[in-house]
Structure 1
Amino acid sequence: MNRIRFDPLRTLGMPRLVHVKPEHMYRHLEQIRVADWLLFPAAWQVNALHYGLGRRIFPSPATYHLGHSKVEMTRALLAVCPHNVPETWIGAATPAQLEEALETLSLPLVAKVPRSARGEGVHLIESRADLLAYARHSEVLYLQEYLPITRDLRIVYVGDRVVSAYWRQAAPGVFHTNVARGGRVHFDDIPAAAIALVEQVARRLGIDHAGFDVAEVQGWFYILEFNPLFGLEALNRQGIRIAPLIEDYLRRAGGPADSDPDAPLAA
């Protein structure tokens, strides 16, 4: 297959790739037009490559478009699995919206910055003062009910299947479970129902490369969010290499792009 990569780190170990720096994309349009796959473009490239040139992209456009913002992600999740999403308030950071949010969600609650990862921008709000401090630095309110958990699941979906799942246990006295925040990883007793939920949701939304964060409360599973560019530390500990999994998926999903790059444009 004729494939171009834009991110060498995410494609490390994949054979026969042509590397193009994202900022040099327009110098290589002829190569791009005939490529079977374009791998890991920067987010700003996606619309031009997918809609403008009709090229096949991995991760999928849906993975980029939904994964770039917790707001867009949550709205999509509420459409496909509303009972598996914590109660969520999304609105403008105005005094009226703050009051309405507090009437809907009781304290404590969780506030998030719409575009963040590795637990950054995720805050436990325990008082009205905490909420006002969060709102002063936010244009958009993204608030969720607080779930009484000390661990969550990271379920990794690549291509068309779950390839890894593990628990992330928060350090004592720490709110965040993220490995980058000191969370400990456990690989035992992974609930099959949580894996099935992620598989169903990923396929429904067209997500093909993401780490899903799933909470369990009294036997019920809630999807908190998903991260298209997930960490690899726990997978390395399992001996799982992502590159061969992507390679296998691309071969099985291979085929012509959605549109003809050589088709003439109307004058």
Structure 2
Amino acid sequence: MKLVSFNPYRTIGIPGVKYIKPEHMFREIKTIKKADYILFPEYWQVNSLVYGLKKKIFPNINTFHLGHNKVEMTRALLATFPENVPYTRIMGKNRHSIEIIEEEFGYPCVAKEIKNSMGQGVFLIQKKQDLQRYIDNNDTLYIQEKLPIDRDLRVVYVGNKVVSAYWRIGKEGSFHNNVAKGGSYSFENIPLGAVDLVDKAAKTLGINHAGFDVVVVGDRYYILEFNVLFGNEALRHLGISIEKMIYDYILSDFKPNGPDKPTFPGVPTRKKIS
């Protein structure tokens, strides 16, 4: 199996991978055409690879298109799992934006930039001045109800299954729970309902590589968003190698009727993450 990767840091340890810099895509087009699988292209490459060259890519086209920004993923989730999405408004800004948001959400509420991750571009809006500053800096407004939480769940989905789940717990007094923002993580008391929700959502939407952010409010699970390129620090703490799981998955996809595919140690079972 011939593999080409455009992201060496996410494919370290996968055998037989040839790395090509994304900007050299057309210079290396002959090698790309001969590849059986393309790993971690950049978004601007995806349409040319899939629709032009008819190549298999990982993550797949669904994951790239739906994970491109918060608008795409939220609308897809609202169409399929509306009861599991916090109350959200997506709108263009106009002279009535503040009045609409104040009437529907009040303060505090949450505002997000539509293309960001690791806690960047997520703002706690506590007063009109905060809201005006956000509106001044964003053409597309993404406003969400503020939920009463002090932590969230990161549920990691790779290939065709959930491979791990852990709590991300914000520092005392912090609005963000992200590990990149100084939060901690815990693998204790993971609710199976959240794991099952992510499994259903990923399979319904055809996603094969994402870190889902889920919160628990009462007896309800809400999916806040998912990140195509998620952090691996907590997974490394468990000794989990995402690269091995990716190889396992693409090998089974490339040769679905071939000999038994290799398995790798360190992959948690459903029992362990419960």
Equivalent-residue separation in structure 2 for 1:141 and 1:206 (angstroms):
27
AA in 2 matched with 1:185:
Y
User: TM-score scaled by structure 2?
Assistant: 0.91
The runs of 4+ residues in structure 1 deviating greater than 3 Å are none
Aligned counterparts of 2:197 and 2:213: Cα–Cα separation in 1: 12
Amino acid at match of 2:177: T
* In 2: Cα distance, 1:197 partner to 1:98 partner: 34
So what's the TM-score if we normalise by structure 1?
0.93
Following superposition, the deviation at residue 28 of structure 1 comes to 2.1
Aligned equivalents of 1:193, 1:123: Cα separation in 2: 28
The match for 2:49 is 49
Which residue does 2:150 correspond to in 1?
150
Distance 2:160 2:247 in 1: 12
**Do structure 1's residue 119 and structure 2's residue 149 form an aligned pair?**
no
CA–CA distance in structure 1, aligned partners of residues 212 and 98 of structure 2: 29
Question: Where does 1:134-213 land on structure 2 (aligned, <5 Å)?
Answer: 134-213=134-213
How far does the alpha carbon of each residue in 1:156-193 deviate from its partner, in whole angstroms, 9 at most, with x for none? 10000111100011100100000011111000110111
* Backbone CA RMSD of aligned residues: 1.2
The number of residues matched between the two structures is: 256
Which amino acid is 1:228 matched to?
V
Corresponding residue of 1:37: 37
* Partner SS state of residue 253, structure 1: helix
Query: Does the CA contact (< 8 Å) of 1:36 and 1:255 recur in 2?
Result: no
Q: Distance in 2 between matches of 1:166 and 1:64?
A: 24
The residue number in structure 1 matching 2:242 is 242
For residues 131 and 103 of structure 1, what CA distance do their matches in structure 2 show?
13
Q: CA deviation at 1:254?
A: 1.3
Cα distance in 2 between the residues matched to 1:195 and 1:219: 14
Report the secondary structure of 1:190's partner residue.
Answer: coil
- Structure 2 matches for 1:99-118, cutoff 5 A? 99-118=99-118
Asked whether the equivalents of residues 168 and 185 of structure 1 are also in contact (C-alpha less than 8 Å), the reply is: yes
Equivalent position SS for 1:135: helix
> Which stretch shifts more, 91-100 or 52-61?
91-100
**Does the Cα contact within 8 Å between 1:154 and 1:166 map onto a contact in 2?**
yes
CA apart distance, 1:255: 5.3
Residue deviations 1:182-217 (CA, integer Å, cap 9, x gap): 111000110111000001101111111111000000
Query: Shift of the alpha carbon at 1:130?
Result: 1.2
Q: CA deviation at 1:219?
A: 2.0
d(CA) in 2 for partners of 1:148, 1:213: 15
Q: 1:204 & 1:34 partners in 2: Cα distance?
A: 31
Structure 2 residues not aligned, in runs of 5+: 257-274
Of 226-235 and 96-105, deviating more is 96-105
Partner of 2:72: 72
**Letter in structure 1 aligned against 2:180:** A
Work out which structure has the larger RCO, using CA pairs closer than 8 Å and 6 or more positions apart in sequence: 1
Secondary structure of the equivalent of 1:79? helix
SS at match of 1:26: coil
Separation in 1 of the partners of 2:232 and 2:157?
Answer: 12
Structure 1: stretches of 5+ with no match in the other structure = 257-267
